[in-house]
């Protein structure tokens, strides 16, 4: 475990940052490339800790994967859905996205598999997804009192189901999509609210038939044949988010973020920030690609409070800690509504965010279905803070550190490596001490 001592000065942002390739898209690109028939070429692939685990798992399942670290390229020779049988457990460590995708994938194989993971995933419920996959024809057996390890027996005779969402979970939806594209009959997902759509977008790009409408998703396996593709991964919006928030909050800042992913289901922070009065410009917007991207230019601006509606919440799940920080420094009150589903999925993140910001003198009210933050709060360092091994909280605390001249320690800073190993180096490059 590593700690990071912040600097005893206030800073602003000046310059340009090229953020790493999108982690969410990369997880899915590896998954579809490994399952497909033929070769997949991925450019702008960023080798974070989470993606290293996903790569390792699909290599064990038979895919040939070669990574060119010098130019961030990856080449995958897929298995054409002929997954390798194993005599040992697949260890997914604490990669939640991989867990959901993999459960769906392995459900479609006649092989028996055991999945194990780290302490976080062992305590995180997968019951909702498991029940749905059982309804399709898979068999699961818990091997301990925890959720992992779990033994599963899939089937090449899965039957599609109709699932009316009780919570708005992109990960449960993704697991069902992966199972549904290899089932014998169509699968229908009736949405509660729209969520991130990377799985549907890439499924169709690789050759599946996923009809995604705002209120319903239909997967037709009869029209599916996954074929290797070429894909450029845009910059990760969630990795760009700390610079966006930091530049807005630190007076005199201007930062440029080239080729950032602008998928409409990911950029909730942009919409919320603009509702708060943010000064954000979009340049060189590329939309005729698999996943849209563009250049963002952010300048500091005094913000005002806003109300974030329940419909917006699925599109800010990674950025809630940063939005809480923005709200605490704005004028007026901010309310984030409809967080019940996120609370079920990310209760630790919301609780830890509140606890750690309180150590910096920032107070908020967290209810079962809302977060209320009063603006105009001063950062008053009361104690050192802890990431709780959450990379989103760690990066938010780094942003908070530039707004105070009081130094403090961020414990377990290495959690940032989960998504953005070079974050601290890039962060420091664009910091300029305020006069």
Task: Check whether 23 is labelled as a binding-site residue.
Answer: yes
Give dist(CA 366, CA 246) in Å, integer: 23
Task: Check whether 124 is labelled as a binding-site residue.
Answer: yes
Q: In terms of Cα–Cα distance, which of 207, 291, 217, 173 is closest to 32? A: 207
426 part of the active site = no
Task: Check whether 24 is labelled as a binding-site residue.
Answer: yes
Give dist(CA 177, CA 201) in Å, integer: 11
Task: Check whether 329 is labelled as a binding-site residue.
Answer: no
From the list 236, 318, 386, 390, the catalytic residue is: 318
- The pair of structure tokens assigned to 220 is 């037709």
Question: Could you please report the per-residue DSSP string of 338-384?
Answer: --HHHHHHHHHHHHHHHHHHHTTT--EEE-SSEEEEES-PPP---S-
SS3 state at 278: coil
Please state, as a whole number, how many other Cβ atoms lie within 10 Å of the Cβ of residue 232.
Answer: 17
Task: Check whether 128 is labelled as a binding-site residue.
Answer: no
SS3 state at 7: coil
Q: Parallel, antiparallel, or unpaired for β 409-411 and 3-5?
A: antiparallel
Give dist(CA 60, CA 193) in Å, integer: 35
Q: Find residue 307's DSSP bridge partners.
A: 335
Task: Check whether 349 is labelled as a binding-site residue.
Answer: yes
Task: Check whether 7 is labelled as a binding-site residue.
Answer: no
Task: Check whether 266 is labelled as a binding-site residue.
Answer: no
Task: Check whether 100 is labelled as a binding-site residue.
Answer: no
Distances (CA, A) of 286 to 147, 261, 291, 293: 42, 10, 9, 5
Q: In terms of Cα–Cα distance, which of 389, 384, 379, 391 is closest to 424? A: 391
Which segments within 85-169 are labelled E, that is strand?
90-91, 112-116, 139-142, 150-153, 162-164
> Which positions are annotated as active-site residues?
318
Binding residues for 3-phosphoshikimate: 23-24, 28, 169, 171, 318, 345
Binding residues: 23-24, 28, 96, 124, 169, 171, 318, 345, 349, 392
Binding residues for phosphoenolpyruvate: 23, 96, 124, 171, 349, 392
């Amino acid at each position: 475990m590593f700690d990071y001592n912040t600097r005893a000065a206030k800073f602003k942002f000046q310059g340009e940052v090229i953020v790493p390739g999108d982690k969410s898209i990369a997880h899915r690109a590896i998954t579809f490339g490994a399952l497909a028939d033929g070769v997949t070429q991925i450019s702008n692939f960023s080798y974070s800790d989470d993606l290293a685990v996903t790569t390792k798992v699909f290599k064990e399942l038979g895919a040939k994967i070669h990574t060119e670290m010098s130019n961030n390229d990856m080449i995958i020779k897929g298995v054409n859905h002929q997954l390798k049988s194993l005599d040992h457990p697949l260890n997914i460590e604490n990669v939640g996205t991989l867990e959901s995708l993999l459960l769906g994938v392995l459900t479609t194989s006649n092989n028996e598999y055991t999945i194990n993971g780290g302490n976080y995933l062992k305590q995180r419920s997968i019951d909702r997804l498991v029940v749905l996959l059982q309804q399709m024809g898979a068999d699961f057996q818990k091997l301990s009192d925890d959720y992992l390890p779990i033994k599963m027996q899939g089937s090449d005779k899965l039957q599609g189901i109709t699932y009316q969402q009780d919570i708005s979970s992109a990960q449960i939806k993704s697991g069902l999509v992966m199972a549904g594209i290899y089932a014998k009959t169509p699968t229908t997902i009736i949405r509660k609210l729209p969520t991130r759509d990377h799985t549907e977008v890439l499924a169709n790009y690789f050759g599946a038939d996923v009809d995604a409408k705002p209120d319903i998703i239909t997967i037709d396996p009869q029209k599916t044949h996954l074929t290797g593709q070429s894909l450029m991964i845009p910059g990760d919006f969630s990795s760009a988010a700390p610079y966006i928030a930091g530049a807005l909050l630190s007076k005199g800042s201007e930062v440029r973020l080239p080729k950032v992913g602008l998928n409409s289901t990911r950029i909730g922070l942009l919409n919320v920030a603009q509702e708060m009065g943010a000064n954000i410009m979009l340049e060189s917007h590329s939309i005729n690609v698999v996943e849209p991207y563009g250049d963002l230019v952010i300048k500091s601006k005094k913000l005002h409070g806003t109300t974030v509606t329940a419909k917006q919440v699925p599109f800010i799940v990674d950025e809630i800690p940063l939005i809480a920080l923005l709200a605490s420094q704005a004028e007026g009150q901010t309310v984030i509504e409809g967080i019940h589903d996120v609370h079920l999925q990310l209760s630790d993140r919301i609780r830890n965010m509140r606890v750690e910001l309180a150590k910096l003198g920032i107070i908020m009210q967290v209810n079962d279905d809302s977060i209320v933050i009063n603006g105009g709060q001063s950062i008053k360092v009361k104690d050192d803070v802890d990431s709780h091994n959450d990379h989103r909280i760690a990066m938010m605390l780094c942003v908070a550190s530039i707004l105070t001249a009081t130094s403090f320690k961020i414990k377990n800073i290495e959690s940032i490596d989960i998504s953005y190993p070079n974050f601290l180096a890039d962060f420091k490059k664009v910091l300029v001490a305020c006069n």
